Amino acid sequence: MTPGSLTPLQLDPLGGMTARLITVSCVAIAVIVAVLMSVVYWGQVSSPVLQVLALLVLGGACVLMIVSTSPYRAPLSRARMSIIWSTLAVATVLDAASQWGTNSSQRDDWGPIAFAIVILMSGSYRSAREILRMTIGATAVLIALAAVEAGSLRDSSLAQYLLCPLIVASPVLATGVAAAAFSRTLVVHLLAWRNSAASAQRDVIDDLRSGLVPSVRNERVAMLNAEVVPFLRRVVELGELRAEDSDRARELAGGLRAVMLPESGRNWLESVTDEVIDPEQLAERMGNEQRSSLKALLAALRATGLAADGSVAVRVRSQETTAHLQLTATISEPTALRTALAPYFVVARSFFPRAALEIDRSALMLQLHYPLG
């Protein structure tokens, strides 16, 4: 994978949330600009039906953009982005068609401007290569449209006729190229950070191990030195087994197993939830990042104080080669909770192949799927 083919969201899921505010603002501005220009230049409209249709199609593209960039939905996919760009192209064509034969200047058309404003934030969501491909496609459509429309302009001079394609295509072309440059630069930085962070983490793990090894060894020695090792030493020094020693050995083995059992049999989910049903011990097979991000989300849920005491329950079951985790909780103030958990969910979602978080008035349900490698 090269920086041009990766999306910033793949490496930094929170980036999409940062861009979300601007994306929504851009979409709102695009609609306002389109409606205002439509009203101001209404005199150039020959087909009001097509003009209204163009505005509705633009509205559809904008709604799709807002819905698709929601933190609670899957990251904006290539297919969705293509649909959004195609819908914007259709709106632009309809806008031009509605002014056929009565348009004084293409500079007054809202189509290319609204198109450019909506795609402005594409660089935060999709890869540079993909944006460039879509930009080239959109530019080709707009140039063709301008060339066809130029002949029908009401006040067309030759110069304006020649400049039409540039005027129509330049907003989308410039915005698309800029969005691709933004995406690529961000990905290059993210990859560099990932590499340096991974290297630093290896050093931290080495330090951590060197501190933990003596600690674990001391705990083991303390556990065994209490009774077991003295017993074995005595048997070795004596060189023979007395009649009562076999029973004593059995008793010590049973005691040792009982001490070792609670830790080895404990499900880590028990420390972060109130009830765990995981008969197949599937939680143990969750990846490191998956586990950390889920723990962070659960800690955030606790920190809000909006989950009822004792209500956070988790059930994990397997379905062929996939584990399916379902977490439920009784909650209050769903709107506040949704806002508080959004960034944590966005991070967790990036590490699970499938994830969904539903929050209604009194209940929360988190569903996570992960492969059983």
Partner 1 sequence: MLSPAILGPTMTLVFPAVHAAVATREALGQAFFWFSSTLLATIFVAEIVLSLHSPGYPGWLTLPILTVIWITALVLRSASGRSTASLIVGGLVITASVAAFAFTLANFSVTEGTSATFLLTSLKIAVTLIGGMIDRRSSGAVGMLVGYVAAEAAVIVGLIGSSRTLIVDIPAVAIALGGALALELLVISRRRTRQVESPISMADAIELAARERRVLELRSSALVHDTILSELATLATTRPGPLTARTIAQIRQSIDLVAEPETDTPLPEPVALTGALLGVIERLRADGLEVEVSGDLRGLDTLDSMRALALSQAIEQCLVNVLRHSGVTRSELVVFTTARELTAMITDAGRGFIESEVGDDRLGLRNSVRGRIASVGGKVQLWSSPGSGTSVVLTVPLLGEAT
Residues between 246 and 265 that touch partner 1 (CB under 8 A): 246-247, 249-250, 252-254, 256-258, 260-261, 263-265
Q: Given the complex with partner 1, which of 257 and 354 has the nearer CB atom?
A: 257
354/119 Cα distance (integer angstroms): 27
Q: Given the complex with partner 1, which of 65 and 90 has the nearer CB atom?
A: 65
- Give me the least distance between CB of 278 and partner 1, in Å please: 14
Q: Given the complex with partner 1, which of 148 and 181 has the nearer CB atom?
A: 181
Contact code string over 15-34 relative to partner 1, x by CB under 8 A? x-xxxxxx--xx--x-----
167/93 Cα distance (integer angstroms): 15
Q: Under rule CB under 8 A, how many of the chain's residues touch partner 1?
A: 109
Q: Which of 32, 12, 87 lies closest to 54, judged by CA?
A: 87
Residues 101-120 that bind partner 1 (CB under 8 A): 105, 107, 113
- Give me the least distance between CB of 276 and partner 1, in Å please: 16
Residues 324-343 that bind partner 1 (CB under 8 A): 343
Q: Does residue 39 touch partner 1 according to CB under 8 A? A: no
Q: Given the complex with partner 1, which of 77 and 292 has the nearer CB atom?
A: 292
| CB neighbour class for 273 (10 Å; exposed up to 12, middle 13-18, buried from 19) | buried
Contact code string over 283-302 relative to partner 1, x by CB under 8 A? -xx--xx-xxx-xx--xx--
Q: Given the complex with partner 1, which of 74 and 197 has the nearer CB atom?
A: 197
- Give me the least distance between CB of 53 and partner 1, in Å please: 25
- Give me the least distance between CB of 290 and partner 1, in Å please: 10
- Give me the least distance between CB of 305 and partner 1, in Å please: 15
CA angle 158, 159, 164 (to 5 degrees): 100
Q: Given the complex with partner 1, which of 85 and 344 has the nearer CB atom?
A: 344
CA 206 → CA 201, 215, 216, 218, 268, distances in Å?
Answer: 9, 15, 15, 19, 23
The answer to whether 40 and 67 are in contact (CB under 8 A) is no
Q: Given the complex with partner 1, which of 298 and 329 has the nearer CB atom?
A: 298
DSSP state of 268: G
Residues 160-219 that bind partner 1 (CB under 8 A): 160, 162-163, 166-167, 170, 173-175, 177-186, 189-190, 193-194, 197-198, 200-201, 203-205, 207-209, 211-217, 219
Q: Does residue 79 touch partner 1 according to CB under 8 A? A: no
Phi and psi for 47 in degrees, rounded to 5?
A: -125, 95
In sequence order, the β-bridge partners of residue 13 are none
- Give me the least distance between CB of 182 and partner 1, in Å please: 4
Q: Given the complex with partner 1, which of 90 and 135 has the nearer CB atom?
A: 135
Residues 122-141 that bind partner 1 (CB under 8 A): 123
Q: Which two tokens stand for residue 235?
A: 């048997």
The answer to whether 81 and 134 are in contact (CB under 8 A) is yes
Q: Which helix (H) or strand (E) holds 276?
A: strand 275-277
CA 330 to chain centre: 25
Q: Which two tokens stand for residue 296?
A: 């962070």
- Give me the least distance between CB of 202 and partner 1, in Å please: 8
- Give me the least distance between CB of 132 and partner 1, in Å please: 11
Tally the C-alpha atoms within 13 A of residue 297's C-alpha that lie toward its C-beta: 32
Q: Given the complex with partner 1, which of 264 and 319 has the nearer CB atom?
A: 264
Residues 145-164 that bind partner 1 (CB under 8 A): 157-160, 162-163
> Is 44 strand, coil or helix?
helix
Residue with token string 């990846």:
287
Q: Which of 148, 136, 139, 194 lies closest to 168, judged by CA?
A: 139
In sequence order, the β-bridge partners of residue 366 are 327, 357
- Give me the least distance between CB of 235 and partner 1, in Å please: 7
Question: Which value, to the nearest 10 degrees, does the dihedral of the CA atoms of residues 78, 82, 88, 93 take?
Answer: 170
